[in-house]
Each structure stands twice: as C-alpha cells, then as structure tokens.
Amino acid sequence: MSEGPAPRLLPVHRSDDYDWRELLRLSRLEGHGWVEAMIEGLGDEGARDRRAGLWVVARRGYPLAVGGVDLEPCTGFFPAARLVGIYVHPASRGRGYGQRLLGRVLRHVRGRFARLTARAEGKEAAGFLEHHGFVPLEHPCISHFRPVGKR
C-alpha cells in the first residue's frame, strides 16, 4: 500500500498553513515545549528577521518534521545564527527528515553568517549535531557550533 505522495520540504510562510496539532501534542509529551515556541516565533515570515527561517517536511499539508533558525541571542557569538531546533514526528524518525531540514538550514545561513550555534538537550540531540559537523562547546547558553563558511 502506498503512503501517497513523497513528503516535501517547504518553507513556512505562515504557521496557520499547516495543522500542527498532532506534532505539537507529541512534542509536548516528549518534553519539547520549544517546538511550539519555535513555530509561534518563526512561523510568520513577515514578523521575523529576514535572516531567520522555518521549514517543514510535510505530506498533504500534514507536518512530519519542522526545523528553524534564528539569530544567535548570546552576544559573545555575533554574527552567528542559532539552530532553534529540529523536531521529527516519532513515527517519521529514521527517514532522513532531520538531516534534510539541517541541510536546508545550512544552505540558508551560508553566506549570511560565519557560524551556526545550537543548544542540544540530551545525548541524542548532541549526537545528531556532532554527526553533522558541530563541535561541542563549554558555554552557558550554547552547547555546539559549526562554521558554515561564505558562498
């Protein structure tokens, strides 16, 4: 049986273009309240800084994964972007959606920033970041960074 069309990676222009209820319910159950804050904070492209972005992997309007980037708020790391987070629906994990989102974030920040920072909470998130070239860092508000280079 076919699952339908292949999931597409798309920019989020307006957060109300998607039905986030299930993804948010599951992210809350897993203790990831930042997912809702990320969608609310970055979901309207007209209200966010033009260097920030939010993307979704969706099938038929149903979000399977979401990831966003914003400006790094820790003043000692300017100019830098922060990977706000990547969250993948539990039933969609292991299919490369997180990697696709990270690749899209990296393409977005390249040429705009010299580095991308992140705050990993947990070993799984830290392992994902390190697997994708992020370096651990001892800092109160940043756990990892990655040079992204110029175009």
Q: What does the alpha-carbon distance between residue 78 and residue 139 come to, in Å, rounded to a whole number?
A: 14
8 Å CB contact between 57 and 20: no
- The pLDDT confidence band at residue 97, using thresholds 50, 70 and 90, is very high
Note the pLDDT tens digit of each residue in 25-82. 999 999 999 999 999 999 999 999 999 999 999 998 899 999 999 999 886 766 799 9
Across the range 105-122, mean pLDDT stands at: 93
| Domain annotation covers residue 68 | yes
User: Which CATH number do you get for residue 110?
Assistant: 3.40.630.30
| Domain annotation covers residue 2 | no
| Domain annotation covers residue 1 | no
Note the pLDDT tens digit of each residue in 66-91. 999 999 988 676 679 999 999 999 99
8 Å CB contact between 60 and 27: no
Host domain of residue 104: 8-147
| Domain annotation covers residue 3 | no
3-state secondary structure of 26: helix
| Domain annotation covers residue 18 | yes
Average pLDDT over the chain reads 92
| Domain annotation covers residue 143 | yes
- The pLDDT confidence band at residue 1, using thresholds 50, 70 and 90, is very low
Could you give the maximum distance between any two Cα atoms of the chain, in Å?
A: 52
Confidence (pLDDT) at 2: 46
| Domain annotation covers residue 141 | yes
Confidence (pLDDT) at 74: 84
Indicate the number of domains in the chain.
1
Across the range 132-137, mean pLDDT stands at: 95
The amino acid at residue 22 is E
Phi, psi of 24 (to 5 degrees): -70, -40
Q: For residue 151, is pLDDT > 70?
A: no
Q: What is the pTM of this model?
A: 0.92
- The share of the chain scoring above pLDDT 90, in percent, equals 81
Residue with tokens 């809702």: 36
Q: What does the alpha-carbon distance between residue 31 and residue 52 come to, in Å, rounded to a whole number?
A: 24
- Beta bridge partners of residue 63, listed in sequence order: 58
Handedness of CA 64, 42, 67, 84 (dihedral sign): negative
| Domain annotation covers residue 84 | yes
Structure token digits, residue 76? 């000692």
